Amino acid sequence: MVKVMAVNAGSSSLKFQLINMPSEEVITSGIVERIGQEKGNFEMKYNGQEYQKECPIKDHSVAVQLLLDALVDCKVVEKLSDIDACGHRIVHGGEYFNDSIKVDEDVVAKVEELSELAPLHNPAHIIGYNAFKKALPDVEHVFVFDTAFHQTLDQERYLYPLPYEYYTDLKVRKYGAHGTSHKYVSQTVIEMLGNPKHSRIIVCHLGNGASISAVEDGVCIDTSMGFTPLAGVMMGTRTGDVDPSVMPYLCKKLNKTADEVLEIYNKKSGMLGVSGISSDSRDIENALFKKGDDRALLTSLLYARIVSKYIGSYFVELGGVDVIAFTAGVGENAAYLRRLIIDDCSRALGVHLDEERNNQRSKENRVISSKYSQVEVMVIPTNEEVMIARDTVRILGL
């Protein structure tokens, strides 16, 4: 039995789980938030208890030390040397990494180089890694890349129809995102199917950020996000795919720079922009069913239509589909959106939901399609931290 610390560092936060492997028992989990602000917040769950602390958290080094001190003080571990390894989520691995990897100086340098492609994420990941490395100098570390699962795409699927030297010289191409989640969910579905030799799965990772992937025999062949996490389906505050000509048009009409319009694309669009209500599907659901709000209805129908179009295109790419799997905050909890999406697909794909199963609240992996459906529909709660722990153990041979 080995203890793996799974780390997900954001620009001002640090999520973590300490996991016993290979049993995948979660020993403790929690989050440090508002790093760099006057009042930081630390929450940790362990042994059915909760530990909370509010205090200034200057940087990620302080956050890591706060976490490690709490592990010993709360007797989650007897001593820090009980932690056998650390796995770190890294958003962007570019073309350098098609799998998770043991960390060394060269790996760190490449991740820092790729910060230009993920400026909000990669620098924070490196800060988190350095903090853990300093606090646990004898522990081996593994980087787990969100882009790695999508490195199996063919050139015809990851290239953009731009001058070819923009790819060779500037590395402009589709990279995808949420790969750790897509890998976990597709592997779970394959296990639920009884580990068949052949499988065709469409994973719908629908949260505030959203992406869809086509997975054939456990290998990703296409995904909706592109050069950045802005592309693909409509999201909480992000546009997804938009005609490129809209950008210069809005710049002229609104007298804004490209960066200012891009900010609108990223933070003021999607569900929030269309509804004028919220980026949260729960608020839109309440406005729709309690107030009969017309824009809440429009937002829901537009969202479902865009997702269903991707499902349809991946059905063609896969030559059929065995399972459509929903995951992440919206995918796991918004039953009304799952129903609208599947309704849009039902006539073409012969897929139907069992309404009672779809409306059930559960944190378990489950099938929600009816017995008459030609395609199984599942809800699989994602667990990126477990995937990080699995890869850490595999890479280090623990």
User: Is 62 a residue whose pLDDT tops 90?
Assistant: no
In the chain, % of residues over pLDDT 90: 75
User: Is 5 a residue whose pLDDT tops 80?
Assistant: yes
Mark the binding-site residues for ATP, compressed into ranges.
Answer: 15, 205-209, 280-282, 329-333
Q: Of 69, 83, 111, 99, whose CA–CA distance to 7 is shortest?
A: 83
Under 8 Å between Cβ of 214 and 228: no
Under 8 Å between Cβ of 26 and 10: no
Within 13 Å, how many C-alpha atoms sit on residue 333's CB side? 11
Chain-centroid distance of CA 50 in Å reads 26
Q: What is the structure's pLDDT at 36?
A: 81
Asked if domains 2-145 and 194-384 share a fold, the reply is yes
The mean predicted confidence, pLDDT, of the chain is: 93
pLDDT tens, position by position, 276-285: 999 889 999 9
Alpha-carbon gap, residue 77 to 79, rounded angstroms:
5
Q: Using 50, 70 and 90 to split pLDDT, how confident is the model at 122?
A: confident
Reading across the β-sheet that carries 376-379, which strands appear in turn? Answer: 219-223, 210-216, 200-206, 323-327, 376-379, 366-367
Domain-by-domain residue ranges, the chain? Answer: 2-145, 194-384
Mark the binding-site residues for Mg(2+), compressed into ranges.
Answer: 8, 384
User: Is 393 a residue whose pLDDT tops 90?
Assistant: yes
Alpha-carbon gap, residue 333 to 285, rounded angstroms:
11
| 168-171-174-178 Cα dihedral, nearest 10 degrees | 140
Q: Using 50, 70 and 90 to split pLDDT, how confident is the model at 97?
A: very high
Name residue, tokens 């949420």: 178
Name residue, tokens 């909000």: 120
Q: Using 50, 70 and 90 to split pLDDT, how confident is the model at 291?
A: very high
Mark the binding-site residues for substrate, compressed into ranges.
Answer: 89
Alpha-carbon gap, residue 316 to 311, rounded angstroms:
9
Q: Using 50, 70 and 90 to split pLDDT, how confident is the model at 234?
A: very high
Query: Domain 2-145 falls in which CATH fold?
Result: Nucleotidyltransferase; domain 5 (3.30.420)
pLDDT tens, position by position, 11-50: 678 889 999 999 999 999 998 988 887 788 899 999 888 9
Residue 136 backbone class (left: φ over 0; alpha: ψ -120 to 50; beta: rest):
beta
Q: Using 50, 70 and 90 to split pLDDT, how confident is the model at 59?
A: confident
Higher pLDDT, 380 or 53: 380
* Axis-axis angle for helices 294-318, 281-291 (nearest 10): 130
User: Is 218 a residue whose pLDDT tops 90?
Assistant: yes
Under 8 Å between Cβ of 367 and 313: no
**Rg of the chain, C-alpha, whole Å:** 21
What are the structure tokens assigned to 133, written together? 């490395």
Mark the binding-site residues, compressed into ranges.
Answer: 8, 15, 89, 205-209, 280-282, 329-333, 384
Name residue, tokens 């200034």: 56
Q: Using 50, 70 and 90 to split pLDDT, how confident is the model at 60?
A: confident
Residue 73 catalytic?
no
pLDDT tens, position by position, 66-96: 999 999 989 999 888 899 999 999 989 999 9
Q: Using 50, 70 and 90 to split pLDDT, how confident is the model at 351?
A: very high
Q: Of 275, 272, 366, whose CA–CA distance to 325 is shortest?
A: 366
Q: What is the chain's length?
A: 398
Under 8 Å between Cβ of 146 and 177: yes
Q: What is the structure's pLDDT at 124?
A: 83
The catalytic residue among 82, 99, 106, 146 is 146
Alpha-carbon gap, residue 200 to 314, rounded angstroms:
10
Q: What is the structure's pLDDT at 61?
A: 84
Of the CATH numbers 3.40.640.10, 3.30.420.40, 1.20.1560.10, 3.40.228.10, which one belongs to the domain with range 194-384? 3.30.420.40
Q: What is the structure's pLDDT at 37?
A: 78
